[in-house]
Structure 1
Amino acid sequence: MLENIDRVFKNQLSLKEKKHLAWAFYSHVASTIKELIFMDWYARVDNRVEIKGIEHLLEAKKQDHGCFLLMGHIGNWELTISLVFSQLKSLIGPIWIIRKAIRIQWLERLIFNRNQRYGGQRIDKAGAPLKIIKALKNKETVLFTMDQHAELKNKEGIAVNFFNAKAGTFRSLALFAGKYQAPVVPLACYRLANGKHVLEFFPALSWETHPDEEQAISNNTLRYNQQLEQLILEHPEQWWWVHRRWKL
């Protein structure tokens, strides 16, 4: 983890500050575990999650092409997203989450069942393209998490910069956004000092055109990474630093 922190901040932070950030991350993980254990209790408490910037999402939905949400593993994303599913669904319709099943089966069942109970719908990575296309044609919303390593084999991933170092990044978001002209709305989940959570939407990223399709995918994927960098730096202690993000 310290290796990842050092890779991102380099000489911007002292070793002492980097270690302090690492301990702040561990504290965040402990809070996240506690919140997930008592998630059903949190669901009964009013105003545990504040939604900001919803106007950006509503504006994107007006384009009538379906919509993508761009997110990283920041804050307690499982809790925050789950607790606002029903509220968002009443505004914009179904929300599909692309995610790979967790290897720990009992934990996967717990999270999947809770997401369903609160109104979320999952798209498994296996067979995801057809389901994504169907969701877009139905003018629905699909959520992508883009801050994990993607293999370059079979063109699943593309090598683009993430915090000034090449990282395997999923190309599928740019591929679908360009082909179906679907807006990409960034969002971030983060915890406040008072223990409450925020789900914040940001202005949609417009598609950057290029005569070469592969270059267009690369350029736009880089922009998605740059957006995630900004969101991570706003709340660095709440990003999932233990990801093996740079494996190239």
Structure 2
Amino acid sequence: MAGSANLNVMMKTARKAGRGLLKDFGEVENLQVSTKGPGDFVSRADKAAEAMIMEELMHARPSYGFLGEEGKEIEGEDPTRRWIVDPLDGTTNFLHGLPHWAVSIALEHKGQIVAGVIYDPVKDEMFYAEKGGGAWMNESRMRVSGRHRMIESIFATGLPFAGRADLPETIQDLARILPACAGVRRFGAAALDLAYVAAGRYEGFWERGLNAWDIAAGIIIVREAGGILEPINPEGDVIADGQLICANEPIFETFAKVIRKA
């Protein structure tokens, strides 16, 4: 797909960040790690990746705002546009040597995500989408799964850790969904969970307690791949509330009813 200038900048930047992170991943045992909070670790590599991404994006588009996981939000001269970045989604996987993590970059315009890139350097899989341009993985067009039956479907979620308040809700979710489906996966990287729904690898995904940078790029990638994505609370807002549910069209309504019974 021939993308816009903005999308090309995002993809180039994600690849550059990915190359740096791969080098650190190869020496994961030697990384200097500091604690950001219970169960939430941040590495020197994470911070360096965000600094590099910010430098690249702000050099290309100096008037845009910037929201990243590791630093303060930057208000741009253009108040209608901002980058939303997770330099290393799946940090805990990264620090444990698990090869499942990604770089996530989104562009927001007037409150709507208009472009998104999720790059998995370990597998060299680049998931990307632009409003109206469809969703892609490397050079292949992506579509959500075509399965129609819950019992044949696999779903993904995140499991709360370290005493997070949404643990009881998630346990109730699992009690309802597990008997109705072919399985639930918890791989520890929300951006890749969304990318995998877009690629048809999962039929659906739900999670609470997420941040804007975890999900911004995945939102447009899922929707451009033909998926339905909504807040778990129908009256809520995905980015502001940090909770969402998504699936292919044939399964979405049934899946949403199961999760929303909470």
What TM-score does the superposition give when structure 1 sets the normalisation length?
0.28
Q: Relative CO higher for 1 or 2, CA cutoff 8 Å, sep ≥ 6?
A: 1
What TM-score does the superposition give when structure 2 sets the normalisation length?
0.27
Which structure is higher in strand share?
Answer: 2
